[in-house]
Homo-oligomer: A and B are copies of this chain.
Amino acid sequence: MLAPRFGLLSIRCLSARQLVYSEYGDPAKVVKLQTIELPDNPPPGHVHVRWLAAPINPADLNTLQGVYPIKPPLPAVAGNEGYGRIVKLVYSEYGDPAKVVKLQTIELPDNPPPGHVHVRWLAAPINPADLNTLQGVYPIKPPLPAVAGNEGYGRIVKVGNGVKNVRVGDHVLPAKAGLGIWRTDGHHKEADVFPIDNTLPLEASATLQVNPPTAYRMLKDFVDLKPGDTVIQNGANSAVGKAVIQICRIRGYNSVNIVRKRDNLTELVNELKGLGANEVITDEQLVKEYRGKIKDARLALNCVGGKSTLMLAATLGFRGCMVTYGGMSKMPLQIPTGPLIFKDIRLAGFWMSRWYEDASHVEERKKMYAELGGWIKAGEFRSPSFEKRRLEDHSVALEAAGVQFDKKQLFIL
């Protein structure tokens, strides 16, 4: 991918920066940083390249000194070597995520087709659902070969004819899962992207689609919670769990957070309490010293299954509801019969992807993003911490995502 080139542009979307020189001389002095605006569309026959890295070679110094045989007309952009890319991570078969994904360089036509937009994707996290998709065990199965990645955000850099609802410069999420976000650029149907507030920080934008909304909806759509009501959850240190804790704090719900016993428990308890958790207890404590003490929870959130749900169900009050959104123990839920019949508790599942697929949710989706965005910008809602990765490091990143649960992997595209 390395090639000698003239005039390397270093752009970030539409606002590009470049090093230019207007006269020959001391390289340390003649080069100036310049910020330019690029037109929406490159001229016919040209492609828009996002240059990523460039070495300083002796030939560059000689060029700047005017002693090199190649002399571009001045003023000129400096630099002869480097690489840029339009790449994507594709998979053609299901299997070990660290192995089935390949980096592929592609060319895109200059302009997106009518009704399509060119999105410069900017950042994308690796979620458990992505790993499951690559393993072929997730219900969303795009036709293979497919571009991997269900979540992320990008900026619209070009719009095709007839595009009405988004504009160049808009930040967008995929409208629903399965679009394939682990790529630098893509032409997508207008309806396949969903605009968001473009003043949000990168981490927040990249993870606005799955975890905070999962927490948000589970706290809103199943039980009519009032301030002071108790919400109990297991797997409280998951990304969704931390979002639940923060939204509970913001809305005034009492959150009881179950975590597994571990070596660095105090540290975790402090972290979760720092986010606003009212109580953080281990599943062991819930069975022993807390047994029978929590009995009026109105909502229980489950991403673990197995025996954990037996305890969780016992804490629910009359007409309480347990919502399952994950099954980390890989064991079936265990639910006591009595509370189902006599306390009229009920169980439901929640899948963010399905919620997005319902066309009737568009307005509510905007409202939700606006509320979450407001909290994020006000500093009331923190995004998780990330290990940032380049697409080129996909194997390492995917391997880490499968084993390292406390720090999420984020592709910077």
Binding site for B on A (CB under 8 A): 139, 305, 310, 324-327, 332-351, 354
Contacts and interface: CB of A to CB of B under 8 A. Distances in A.
Given A332-B336, A335-B347, A342-B349, 20 more contacts: A139-B342, A324-B340, A324-B341, A325-B341, A326-B341, A327-B337, A332-B337, A333-B333, A333-B335, A335-B335, A339-B349, A340-B349, A341-B350, A341-B351, A342-B351, A344-B348, A344-B349, A345-B349, A346-B349, A347-B347
A324 to B, nearest CB: 4
Contacts of A324: 337, 340-341
Contact of A326 (B326, B337, B344): B337
A55 to B, nearest CB: 49
A231 to B, nearest CB: 18
A348 B349 contact: no
As for how many copies of this chain the complex holds, the number is 2
Nearest to A347: B347
B333 A337 contact: yes
Contacts of A350: 341
A344 B340 contact: no
Given A337-B326, A337-B332, A354 B344 contact: yes
Contacts of A325: 341
Nearest to A334: B332
B337 A334 contact: no
A228 B3 CA distance: 67
Contact of A305 (B139, B332, B337): B337
A340 B345 CA distance: 15
Nearest to A350: B341
A345 B350 CA distance: 10
Contacts of A343: 349
Nearest to A352: B341
A350 B344 CA distance: 7
Nearest to A328: B337
A340 B348 contact: yes
A335 B332 CA distance: 5
A249 to B, nearest CB: 26
12 contacts: A327-B341, A332-B334, A332-B336, A332-B337, A333-B334, A333-B336, A334-B335, A340-B348, A342-B354, A344-B349, A344-B351, A347-B348
Contacts of A336: 332-333
A339 B334 CA distance: 14
A335 B347 CA distance: 10
